[in-house]
Structure 1
Amino acid sequence: MHIARSLYPVGLLAAALMLSACSPDAAAPAQPRSVKLEAIGAGSADAASHFVATLRQEHRADLAFENGGRIAEIAVDVGDRVRKGQVLASLDVEPARLRLTQAEANLRAATGQAKERQIQLQQQQAMFEDGVVSQASLTSAQVAHDSAQSQLRVAESDRALAARALRQSELRAPFDGSVVARLLQPQADAAAGQVVVQVEGQGQPQAVATLPAAIAQGLTPGSLVQASRADANAAAFTLRLRSVSSRLEGGASVQAIFDVAEASIPLRSGDSLMLSLSGASENDLSVPLPAVIAQQGKDAVFVYDAKAGTVVRRPVKLGPIEGERIRVTSGLRSGEQVVAAGGAFLSDGQAVLPLRAASHLNDAGRP
């Protein structure tokens, strides 16, 4: 009985251990966390190497009357070919002619007055030398003469402006080209500077694109790029870079202008083009903004180790933000995979499971 009593506690302990092992609340091994990965350089470069551009002509102009007035005639319509110097539209010239007549009359009056003041000054000068008049009389004659000369110059300027207004009552084509827009109709009142017609040149098409500053830095004037129209099955052609703007737009992009070097298909202003530029280099890598983790003033990303199935925290140096991405100047190599989002919930060396692109919504009810 003494032996049986001594084995009793041992049996209770063994039973407890067996029950705890069979308990459904027993701690299970941690499951790898699912993460979304992105390949740096290899995967993102292809997506970042295509940009939209808009085609335009090098020579283009919005034509407006320098002085407002009523439009008497518009001699062209959309699609018409025009030659340099051809009259495109004209204003009612009667007001301009009347102002010119008035200015010429004022000029004749100012000329006569100036001659009269000149004669009076000469007379006063002669009498002053003879001691007949005082210095004050001579000074008064000199002031009147100078004032008359000023009035004459004003009248001459008014006459020149009136003559210019009469000449500018006609809109002439500044170069050979075609009319692409007609914005007003005859008998309409046009304000000064209000666009009446738009014209474009011919044979010198350009493509204008907005590129990330990081990619634009790798381009030099004369660089050749491939382009195609946005519509399907469009043939590719070559563009040559003319210039890159030195001003940033939106903080991270610049405007680039390309000349069409060779094109086997007809191109029209307003066509949308797709430019194909070279992909990212080792010094031109970027990651999504959510991929960056900032802790204690240091930036880092989680890099996926495919062999171990884990992620490694990697310090990086960052560059400028480009839209929803940020450049990485050091710390990553092209082809490496980083966690695109959710890095704040990971730890260094943690096992992860790459997230598949396929949807698992239908598997929600499965065990």
Structure 2
Amino acid sequence: MYARLLIASLLLLTLAPAQAAEVLKGWLEWVHEVEMRVVENGVVEDVAVSAGEQVKEGDLLLRMDQREAKAHLLETRARVARARVASEKAQRESDRSQELFDRGLIAIEELKDAELLLAAANAEEAAAKAAEAAADVALERTELRAPFDGIVVARNVWKGAVIYKTLQQEPLIVVAPNDRMLARALVTANVLRRYQTGDKVRVKVGDSTRAGSVYSLGVQSVRVELEGAVYYLDIIFDTKANEVLRPSETVQILFP
């Protein structure tokens, strides 16, 4: 009798349906986007990329006309050279005055005057070097370069455009990293409470499924529906090599 009850129990456990995993419908989003603008006025000389193009960190995206910036940099370098010569001359005069003072041939006032001239020359050289550094930065700012490996999301500028740094209503170029993506779903607060940042989940993209984790839990509601307020639930996952995924593609988020 006991054996029959045990066998019946095992059959019931075997035939009992496994607890189904929770499945949420969602869509893809970039992890983040970087909107790039120039910080100096000028004319666009070249745009090196187009929307959808893959870029590496440091790749040239856009170059402004650099003639004025280069001329200013040359001018500051010449100022540094003149200031260096003046500093060297003042140093020799100071050394000579010190020698004459040690021999008792000049008064202390003349020695102090030579030291003051040396200090002024050194200060002028430091100011010239600072101006050179600022000019070098200004030249760098005539170019936009990729801040990381990623994809060009948008290009809103063309060669010959006149750019005013205070009138850039939209970014010139938008770049996003594409080594990772977000799977985003709209859920109620009750669903959010069941998960924590870092919880492991799976994301089904097309016919493939890959591992992911909870990236962020919405704090402010997106909208209010009849069932109540809904929030964003974001899942982050790594993309495959040479894989091109795009925002708004539909996915499934599978919770264990």
Q: Is TM more than 0.5 here?
A: yes
Contact 1:209/1:257 (8 A) holds in 2: yes
Contact 1:210/1:255 (8 A) holds in 2: yes
How far apart in 2 are the matches of 1:215 and 1:138? 82
Gap change, CA 1:146 and 1:192, over 3 Å in 2: farther
* Superposed displacement of residue 156, structure 1: 1.4
Show the counterpart of 1:166: 139
3-state SS, counterpart of residue 259 of structure 1: strand
Gap change, CA 1:260 and 1:136, over 3 Å in 2: same
1:133 equivalent among 103, 106, 118: 106
2:174 equivalent among 198, 206, 221: 198
3-state SS, counterpart of residue 138 of structure 1: helix
Q: Does 1:111 align with 2:111?
A: no
How far apart in 2 are the matches of 1:78 and 1:51? 31
Show the counterpart of 2:55: 82
Show the counterpart of 2:237: 260
How far apart in 2 are the matches of 1:90 and 1:153? 30
* Superposed displacement of residue 212, structure 1: 6.6
Select the structure that is richer in helix: 2
* Superposed displacement of residue 274, structure 1: 7.3
Contact 1:213/1:248 (8 A) holds in 2: no
Contact 1:220/1:241 (8 A) holds in 2: no
Show the counterpart of 1:182: 155
Contact 2:216/2:235 (8 A) holds in 1: no
Structure 2 spans left out of the alignment, 5+ residues: 1-21, 222-228
Gap change, CA 1:254 and 1:183, over 3 Å in 2: same
Gap change, CA 1:122 and 1:210, over 3 Å in 2: farther
Contact 2:44/2:63 (8 A) holds in 1: yes
Gap change, CA 1:261 and 1:76, over 3 Å in 2: closer
Gap change, CA 1:51 and 1:158, over 3 Å in 2: farther
CA RMSD, Structure 1 to Structure 2 (Å): 4.0
1:95 equivalent among 64, 68, 76: 68
TM score, norm. by length of structure 1: 0.49
Contact 2:180/2:238 (8 A) holds in 1: no
How far apart in 2 are the matches of 1:110 and 1:99? 17
Gap change, CA 1:147 and 1:275, over 3 Å in 2: same
Q: Does 1:240 align with 2:212?
A: yes
* Superposed displacement of residue 213, structure 1: 6.8
The percentage of counterpart residues that share the same residue type is 22
Q: Does 1:64 align with 2:30?
A: no
Gap change, CA 1:80 and 1:147, over 3 Å in 2: same
3-state SS, counterpart of residue 199 of structure 1: strand
1:1-367 pair list within 5 angstroms? 55-58=28-31, 60-192=33-165, 195-208=171-184, 216=192, 218-225=194-201, 240-244=212-216, 248-249=219-220, 257-260=234-237, 267-271=245-249
How far apart in 1 are the matches of 2:106 and 2:113? 11
Greater RCO, 1 or 2 (C-alpha within 8 Å, sep 6+): 2
Structure 1 spans left out of the alignment, 5+ residues: 1-48, 279-367
Gap change, CA 1:244 and 1:205, over 3 Å in 2: closer
Contact 2:179/2:238 (8 A) holds in 1: no
Contact 1:239/1:262 (8 A) holds in 2: no
How far apart in 2 are the matches of 1:61 and 1:254? 24
AA at the equivalent of 2:199: S
* Superposed displacement of residue 115, structure 1: 1.2
3-state SS, counterpart of residue 172 of structure 2: strand
Contact 1:178/1:200 (8 A) holds in 2: yes
Greater C-alpha radius of gyration: 1
Tell me whether 71-80 or 171-180 shows the greater mean CA deviation: 171-180
3-state SS, counterpart of residue 173 of structure 2: strand
Show CA shifts across 1:275-328 (max 9, x none).
6779xxxxxxxxxxxxxxxxxxxxxxxxxxxxxxxxxxxxxxxxxxxxxxxxxx
